[in-house]
Amino acid sequence: MKAQQVLFWKKAYQVVEPGINAEGVHTYPFDPAFAIDVGFFVHAGRHNVRMNRHDYLEVIYVYGGRTEIQVLNRFFRVKEGDLMVVGPGLYHRILNRPRVEVRLVSLNFRPEIIRGSGTSSEEEQYLMPFLCQDSEFPHVIGPASGLPKRALELILKVHAALPAKTPLARLAVKTHMKMLLYLLVEHYADYAGARNVFAKKQHDIERLAPLFSYLEKNYGEHIQVSDAARICAMSGSHFMSFFKKVTGQSFLTYLNGFRIAKAQALLSATSTPIAEISELLAFCSQSYFGKVFHALVGNTPLAYRRRYREDVGDGAESQ
């Protein structure tokens, strides 16, 4: 199947990271009229995409290489031929390894593609593998089952039919999608009755919504754990354990990651002095800012600014 289509690969960091907001929510640039897309992403180097969640559904095929994928506090080692299923509302990220490249084919779609304008019990069953993902859910499906290979064939058929501008093309996409989703429903039959998991997960995220809103507007202020706990109307100890359960990381780790992402945007898109960026993001000193930046990104702020501009100059796509 790999030789039958010419695939255009994009550097994941440059495409995905700009679409993540303060809540760690990634917005996919779907066609508003038909919210489904297939992306071909290269993950390599020290630029890790932040932990993020999304309201769309995602199926990831490991096309080449190997890596780890973090879902909340769990880490999954994946290699070529594996398939991974990621539901809505789950914080996750792909972990890059220095000097190692992994290529992922990512099918992303909104539930409405299957549900249509109404919701029948039959249509809803197609989505159950995504809506019942609890802390024990086996996200990775290995090649020995034969399912990942069949899934890739269907994903590439969906890709070939996009953009689906005609009724016939949309019918083709939906047909391939239902065939793929049926394979997943069959594989995850033991989880099909656990829909209450999704409702609880959404409720937990909503409890953090006031904090995410505050961070977007006040990330340049000095924010302590006690401040965050107060915004969420929780005690400090309860907030720390709750935040880590929902996002997969501590609040301070999340806050540093969010601020460094803001710094990366400023370094790549503006000529703002590094000392000023450090101050704008409420780091106690430029040296500490540089230390945190290097720990998360793998470069100094100055080296990142130079490297990013070189990468942009080289182009973001490869064949």
Per the structure, the complete domain to which residue 96 belongs is given by 2-194
pLDDT tops 70 at residue 214? yes
Question: Residue 273 is which amino acid?
Answer: P
* pTM (predicted TM-score): 0.71
pLDDT of 314 above 70: no
Position with higher pLDDT, 264 vs 94: 94
Residue 198 has pLDDT above 90, yes or no: no
Q: Is residue 199 part of a domain?
A: no
Q: What's the whole-number mean pLDDT along residues 93-100? A: 85
Q: Are residues 157 and 299 in the same domain?
A: no
What percent of the chain shows pLDDT beyond 70? 89
Neighbours of 17 (CB within 10 A): 18
CATH of the domain at 101: 2.60.120.280
Q: For residue 199, is pLDDT > 80?
A: no
pLDDT tens digits, one per residue of 26-65:
999 999 889 999 999 999 877 788 899 999 999 999 999 9
Least confident window among 105-114, 179-188, 200-209? 200-209
Strand order of the sheet with strand 74-79? 74-79, 66-71, 92-95
Q: Are residues 18 and 104 in the same domain?
A: yes
Looking at the fold, whether 157 and 222 belong to one and the same domain comes out as no
φ/ψ of 301, rounded to 5, equals -55, -40
- Look at residue 174 in the predicted model and tell me its pLDDT: 93
237-248 average pLDDT score: 89
Predicted confidence (pLDDT) per residue in 300-311, tens digit? 999 888 877 765
Phi (first) and psi of residue 95, to 5 degrees: -95, 120
Residue 15 has pLDDT above 70, yes or no: yes
Same domain? 262 vs 158: no
